[in-house]
Amino acid sequence: MPRFNLVLSEEMDRQIDQLVAEPETKSTVIRKALAMYLAASRAKHEQGLNVGFFDPKTKEVKQEVIGI
């Protein structure tokens, strides 16, 4: 399995620490985030889709993610 070093700001490191809950690790959280980014990037480039957050009851888009 390939390995690499990742340099993060102190603030980003703190935010990741807040997300980590057993049995997950920082590595797991970062792998999941990268997988989500890759899926979003493919959907945008292959299907012209955008990423956003929506209200599960109304299905109304509440916020769109820009820059993917």
In tens, the pLDDT along 15-46 reads 999 989 878 899 999 999 999 999 999 999 99
- CB-based burial label for 51 (10 Å; 0-12, 13-18, 19+): middle
Residue closest to 36 by CA, chosen among 65, 4, 5, 2: 65
Query: What are the domain boundaries of the chain?
Result: 10-65
Rounded CA separation 45/38 (Å): 11
Report the pLDDT value the prediction gives residue 30, as an integer from 0 to 100: 93
Rounded CA separation 6/1 (Å): 16
pTM equals 0.77
Provide CB contacts within 8 A for 6, sequence distance 6+.
Answer: 30
